Amino acid sequence: MTARDAGLVACQTCGQVHHKGTERCKRCKGPLISRDQQSLQKVWAWLIAGLIAYIPANIYPMLLTATLLERSESTIIGGVVDLMHYGAYGIAFVVFFASVVIPVGKFLVIIYLALSVQNASQANQHGRHKAYHMVEFIGRWSMIDVFVVAILSALVQLDTLATINPGIAAVSFALSVIFTMLAAQSFDPRLIWDVDRTSHD
Amino acid sequence: MTDAQPHLDDLVACPQCDTLHQAQNLPEGSRACCQRCGQVLMSTQGTAVARIIALALTAFVLMIAAISFPFLSLNAGGAQNATSVIDAVLAFKDGLAFPLAVAVAFFIVVLPLMRLAALIYALGPLVADRRPHPGARFAFGLAERLRPWSMAEIFIVGVTVALIKVAGMATVTIGPAFWAFAGVVVITILKDQLICRYSIWEALDQARI
């Protein structure tokens, strides 16, 4: 039996159970929502914003490098290729994973979760719940590349000898990560589990 | 549901799938999981409020050190440049990227500090067996809500990647702030593992009476 079926509503911040219709949690003062009716709408909105921001993040340069001899710009993928040239395959893999595999994987998983809830799918609830946890847990790690750019740009400022400055892609990439984190947080995991209850009970 | 409806305070609704359970006293060292989706609902190790406070205080002091001391410095061909954590934030201060400087400042310094301060404020009086401060429950809720946005551990991995990128071109010296920041990360992870939301909410409730 769920809290909703029992005419109760649970606080999502602290877990305190209240009678239906209570507006604020008596313990932590958080808002009480039994099921967020607009959950999926918010998920789609943030997700689309994240997808849009991800496009310039890949087209424009992340890093602007200037040395005595040359000026160069590198994109996300360019940075990974550079690392492989230095022979740092492990690190190249970490950056590739954080900047390409995680964001793309996250887009796909969130789309799958949202579609499956919309179609009232009953398949593989445990698997989808795990996928949701993965997305929530791992999404933040995409920020690695933004921090790499920050520390490189702060560190490599040797006047005319060599300077590194952040490119505009850093901003759109950070936005993309923030938007997809918000998309994952807007998703109400209870929706995954509601489907077969309404059909069984 | 039957007539003998249990008191609301004794019920636990799974935060992930909304299944209702009745709270029970757990034996030491065990944990209770949701019958349906397997989410951990409570665990007894989390009652160690004193340890959480000790770790939070340590992390707070280390964080102050991490933003005050030199973080990294770079040497190449006679030129030198030293960087602090604040400089890393300010890397984005020019032009369009300015909002990103603010965001990065929040992710790596402000939010981690806010979480620690909120925890110390909320749980400190419990250690001394006093009544919680007004707003203690709000502070603890805030610390939990901010968890995904506090990205100190991601920053330190980013720094490692950056170090490998420049290591070939120049000599990098690691300053004391680097080690302090690494300490913050390790201690914060240890502390977060000790936090059992349910036990702490219960502890805050019982202290109120």
Instruction: List, for residues B142-177, the tens digit of each pLDDT value.
Output: 898 898 999 999 999 999 888 888 877 788 889 999
Best A81, A96, A97, A151 residue to mutate vs chain B (most B CBs within 10 Å)? A151
In contact, A46 and A179? CB cutoff 8 Å: yes
| pLDDT classification of B117: cutoffs 50, 70, 90 | very high
* pLDDT above 60 (res A93): yes
pLDDT at B4: 58
Residues from chain B that touch A156, judged by Cβ atoms under 8 A, are 74, 81, 166, 170
pLDDT reading at A57 higher than 70? yes
Closest alpha carbon within chain A to B80:
A158
- Chain B neighbors of A21, CB-CB under 8 A: none
* Per-residue model confidence as pLDDT tens digits over B28-52: 767 788 888 888 887 765 457 888 8
User: What was the pLDDT predicted at A196?
Assistant: 67
Of the spans A54-58, A71-75, B190-194, which averages the highest pLDDT?
A: A54-58
What's the rounded mean pLDDT across residues A14-35? 81
Residue A166 has pLDDT above 80, yes or no: yes
Q: Facing residues of B138 across strands?
A: none
CA neighbor of B143 nearest in space, from B71, B182, B191 = B191
| B162 touching chain A per CB within 8 A | yes
Q: What is the mean pLDDT of the segment spanning B127-136?
A: 82
**What pLDDT was estimated at residue B183?**
94
* Distance in angstroms (rounded) separating the CA atoms of residues B155 and B148: 13
Q: For the segment B11-32, what is each residue's pLDDT rounded down to a tens digit?
A: 888 888 888 888 887 777 677 8
What integer pLDDT is reported at residue A200 of this predicted model? 45
Contact A109, A139 (CB under 8 A): no
Q: Give B90→chain A minimum CA distance, Å.
A: 8
Contact residues, B window 103-132, toward A, CB-based 8 Å cutoff: 103-104, 107-108
Q: Kindly tell me if the per-residue pLDDT of A32 is higher than 60.
A: yes
Residues B143 and B191: their CA atoms lie apart, in Å, by 12
Smallest CA–CA distance from B149 into chain A, residue: A140
Q: Are A76 and A99 in contact (CB under 8 A)?
A: yes
DSSP SS3 for B78: coil
- For residue A198, what pLDDT is reported? 56
- The strand pair at A162-166 and A63-67 is best described as antiparallel
In the prediction, which pLDDT does B3 show?
Answer: 46
User: Which amino acid is it at B78?
Assistant: G
Interface test with B, best of A147, A181, A196 (most B CBs within 10 A): A147
pLDDT band per the 50, 70, 90 thresholds, residue A188 = confident
- A28 CB neighbour count, 10 Å cutoff: 23
B19 and A CB contact within 8 Å: yes
Using the beta-carbon criterion (under 8 Å), do B100 and A94 form an inter-chain contact?
no
Residue B18 half-sphere exposure toward CB, CA atoms < 13 A: 25
Angle between helices A125-138 and A190-200 in degrees, nearest 10: 160
Q: With b meaning 16 or more CB within 10 Å and e meaning fewer, what string describes A136-157?
A: bebbbbbbbbbbbbbbbbbbbb
Instruction: Check residues B115 and B40 and name the one with the higher pLDDT.
Output: B115
Q: What percent of chain A has pLDDT over 90?
A: 30
Question: CB–CB of B18 and A88 under 8 A?
Answer: no
A177 CB contacts (<8 Å, ≥6 apart)?
A50, A103, A139, A140, A142, A143, A146
* Cross-chain residue pair B97–A170, CB shorter than 8 Å: yes
Quote the pLDDT of residue B44: 65
State the amino acid at position B153 in one-letter form.
Answer: E
Nearest to B84 by CA among A21, A102, A200, A150: A150
Q: Which of A32-41, A184-193, B191-200 has the highest mean pLDDT?
A: A184-193
How does the average pLDDT of chain A come out, rounded?
Answer: 86
Dump pLDDT digits (tens) for B57-94.
Answer: 999 999 999 999 989 888 877 778 888 889 888 888 88
How much is the average pLDDT of A112-138? 87
Under an 8 A CB cutoff, do A129 and B37 touch? yes
d(CA B34, CA B98): 44
**Is the CB of B195 inside 8 Å of chain A's CB atoms?**
no
Name the DSSP letter for residue A24: B
Q: How far apart are CA A175 and CA B99, in angstroms?
A: 10
Token pair for B112? 């981690």
Q: pLDDT digits over A111-121, tens only?
A: 999 998 888 87
Q: Which residue of B has its CA nearest to A195?
A: B17
Using one digit for the tens of pLDDT, what is the confidence trace for B175-188? 999 999 999 999 99
Could you tell me which chain B residue has the CA closest to the CA of A88?
B164
Q: How many C-beta atoms lie closer than 10 Å to residue A179's C-beta?
A: 20
**Better-scored residue on pLDDT, B143 or A195:** B143
The answer to whether the beta carbons of residues B65 and B177 sit under 8 Å apart is yes
b/e B171-190 (16+ beta carbons within 10 angstroms → b): ebeebebbebbbbbbebbee
Nearest-by-CA chain A residue for B17: A190
Counted residue by residue, chain B has a size of: 209
**Token pair 């809500």 in the structure block, residue:** B145
* B126 close to A197: Cβ distance less than 8 angstroms: no
pLDDT of residue A199: 47
Give the range among A43-52, A154-163, B42-51, B160-169 with minimum mean pLDDT.
B42-51
pLDDT of residue B138: 87
User: Cβ of A190 and B12 within 8 Å?
Assistant: no
The residue behind tokens 């009953």 is: A122
